[in-house]
Each structure stands twice: as C-alpha cells, then as structure tokens.
Chain A
C-alpha cells in the first residue's frame, strides 16, 4: 500500500493564480480531509468528505474548493491564490462514517505552498 500520497511536494504561485493539490489513498478509506499547518499554530481543517460525492466545510474553507468523485481521490483547488494561503497542506484519510472520528488518521507527506 502506498498509503496517502500528495502531489506536488512544493509549489510557488503568483497571487491570483489557481491550482489543484492532489491527494489519493489506496486504503479504501471513506473519510478524507484537508488541513493547513501554519507556524506556531495547530492544524486547521479546510474541507472534509465522508464518502464519494459528499463534502463539507471545515474551519477555514474560504478560497478553497473540493470534490470527491471517487473513494480514492480528494483534490483541493485554490481558486485565486493569495499570500495568506502560503502554508503547508496535509491530506488525511481514515475509516468510519459513523459520525465519530474513532479511527486512526493517516496523513500524506504534505505540500509546501508559497504564494508571492
């Protein structure tokens, strides 16, 4: 199993550009999520999905879109990049859609994004 994979590892964007961060998992997990990690702060949830075709907003969804057309893939789209979106982005997946996060979460290696 490759686990959770993310591409690219690094990206530099100019303000106003758009891009898609890719996330895939091969563990047949129903739950997938995107977090951003900023220095000195805990991770913050951007969007999450409890299964194919179902997505919802987390704590900081503005400026980001997601879709979940398959169980395996959960891409994160930046619509019009802003310097405030400079961060490290992590994708995670886990089992379980019972309404409780009772299962271990697996994380990808992260994408380091810089917006100039």
Chain B
C-alpha cells in the first residue's frame, strides 16, 4: 500500500464548477497535511496546509481532513482555467519524519 494515494486523473471540470480532489494516507499517526499545485514545467507551489479535523477555507480553496478515515481533500470553488494544473497531496509521515507526496491529480478546467 502506498503511503499517500491520489487518483491520477485526469479530472475534467467545467469552468465555474467545484473541483474535488481526494487523497488517502496510510500512516494513522500523521498530523500535518499539505496541498501543492504544480503547473507544467514549474515547481510545486503551496496552496494550503491543514492539521486539524474538519474544514479549512482560504478564498476559493477548502481543505477537508478526516483523520479517522485517513482522508484529506481539496475543493476548488468557481473553478477557473488558470486552476488547470497537477495537484499534489503531501503528508508528514511521523515515524520517518519526512514529507511524502502522492502521485498527483491532473486537473483540467474547461472554459
């Protein structure tokens, strides 16, 4: 079982709709969770981090964390073509004290 798993996509969403990106992790002791956005040919850019169960909102982005289900998601409201990118979920693996990334979900917003 991979430490961090994401659906690789591609995920296609119409402009203005809500894009939902999902991630599961294997280490039940993980405490820190991150979402990065990566445009083609560029480096990952931090979007959000979340540490506590529940929702965390920042503008059009909402991160949701459910530690009991070992599940973290990212919602993008009012999706724009500029949101088209690969979204990487990352988790601090407590035992190894390192940041582990999922394979990323490629998101395309269709005008």
| A and B part of one assembly | no
What is the interface of chain A, defined by CB distance below 8 A to chain B?
none
